[in-house]
Structure 1
Amino acid sequence: METITRLPTIVKYIGNARLGYQGALQGEFVEFKSFPEEELRKRFGITLTFDESSQQEFLKRITEPLQKVAESTGAELFMAGIDFPLHSTVLEIKREDAVIPEKEEKMRKIILGENNIRRLPGLTLSFDYMFVDKGGNTVIAATNIPQVILSARETVSSDGIREGFSPLPLTNILHISVARLTKLPDESNMTQYYKMSGIRPALRFKPLQMTVGSVNAENTWNFLNRI
């Protein structure tokens, strides 16, 4: 499988991590309340969900250790695989108004029929970088982005533009949004939470391998509220 490691990708992750550290030091983490329904109803997302074995590995290596970090620092979390679907986004496209069911179904048929999309199930992605961003959101990312993912993004972008959507920029990153803070860590524990002791270095030495089980093409609001 051809993969692309690009300096801009690594630089972007490091930049996000640095902003996260500044956010921890300066008390800029934000408590998550809810997904913005009005905005997300205008979006159509192409997302990857993972096979059962990958989900169990994610639970063991990411979810459970992160829950322990949260407990030890006084934080509470809104977590992938528990509160919203565990997934990685290929690309989102957007309209000026809500995506009606008829348009959603048309886009689903177009995109899922594309060869570059049909190649994604069975693809194994290697997530080897973890960071907490400026708002306190925990993310794992892949420094090696498979060419097939980049090709799929180009396909979705072209299909979306042709059907009256605007692609939302997603460059130099392939990631899973792991958790959002619903209760901030105790003030004295902000940097301890940020460091993710034990989880972050483990990913660098042994990347998390996640195999795509299925590709989803649907309104973003509907997808995120499946659970």
Structure 2
Amino acid sequence: MKILIIEDEKQLVKSIAAVLRTEGYVCEIAYTAAEAEEKIPIFDYDCILLDINLPDGNGLKILETIKKHNKTDGVIIITARNSLEDKVMGLNLGADDYLAKPFFMPELIARVSAIIRRKRFDGSNKIVFQEISVDLIGKSVSVHGRELDLTKMEYALLIFLLANKNRVVSKNAIAEHLSGDNAELLDKFDFIYSHMKNLKRKLTDAGSEDYIKTVYGLGYKFST
């Protein structure tokens, strides 16, 4: 799952990113509205953390950009402003939640998780696909009730495939989703092949059918 943090307070960004990464999220960062405006039309995010008060503009304009491009990214406004007017305006422009500074990191993580479940998995805490079951709260995966030992990257890859099941996802899309701001990985697909191979092996060794199909020249598709 990939998060975009739009915030100019660098120490706060560092703290948020560190906590989210320990939870298995890939984080990208935009310190200004201009940086955010460049990223949003090009990339997809599972959740965007948006500060309203940015040095080069009002963050509410970014909500208009998200709407303009018909993006479905979840948005949590995080700001020191705690006025009813800002909250109502942000929600009316398409934000999903609102969190005033200062906040506790466990609450932020809970809200991010809730939005992703609502946006990607119909609000459920569990994903069930045939014999595969994923506990989104405990971040565990089981096949026929047997829990698998997946790495963070393998877990993130499986969630991405499940969120896009029955659709072909390109190697570029997978690399971009898993690497975040580590752009140097985008031209190197060896790490995708390695994680995909390991994930397929662990699933099938546990008794799962092989649902990860290679679509030659295009990418991969997770389907029966």
* TM surpasses 0.5: no
TM-score in terms of structure 1 length: 0.28
TM-score in terms of structure 2 length: 0.28
Q: Which has the higher contact order (CA 8 A, sep 6+)?
A: 1
